[in-house]
């Protein structure tokens, strides 16, 4: 089984359908993401997944019902089938 180490510099966004490198991103205030900011990034309501390394992934909770594209990079890191854009960050970056 192939594994990918998660990024060491957070936060990053895994663009749906992309197998390229994660896209570095930053909260508008430079400290933590606001709910509306994340909803705009994932295109809807936000679901949170805590990973074994104590980082979190935020993604659209209705993405599968809305037929968003499979996100191979985020899915491989989380070992969960994820769709759409996924924000990967530290818990302190999300209130």
Residues in the chain: 95
**What is the SS3 assignment for 89?**
strand
* pLDDT score of 2 more than 80: no
Cβ partners under 8 Å of residue 85, min gap 6: 13, 14, 15, 16, 41, 42, 43, 59, 60, 71
Token pair for residue 18? 């992309």
Stretch 10-17: mean pLDDT, rounded? 75
* pLDDT score of 1 more than 60: no
> What was the pLDDT predicted at 14?
80
Per the model's pLDDT, the better-predicted residue between 78 and 11 turns out to be 78
> What was the pLDDT predicted at 19?
58
């Amino acid at each position: 089984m192939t594994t990918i180490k998660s990024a060491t510099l957070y936060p990053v966004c895994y663009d749906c359908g992309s197998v390229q490198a994660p896209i570095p991103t930053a909260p508008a205030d430079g400290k933590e993401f606001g709910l509306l900011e994340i909803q705009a990034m994932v295109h809807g309501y936000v679901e949170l997944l805590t990973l074994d390394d104590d980082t979190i992934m935020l993604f659209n909770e209705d993405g599968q019902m809305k037929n968003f594209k499979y996100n191979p990079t985020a899915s491989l890191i989380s070992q969960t089938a994820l769709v759409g854009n996924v924000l990967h960050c530290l818990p302190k970056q999300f209130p």
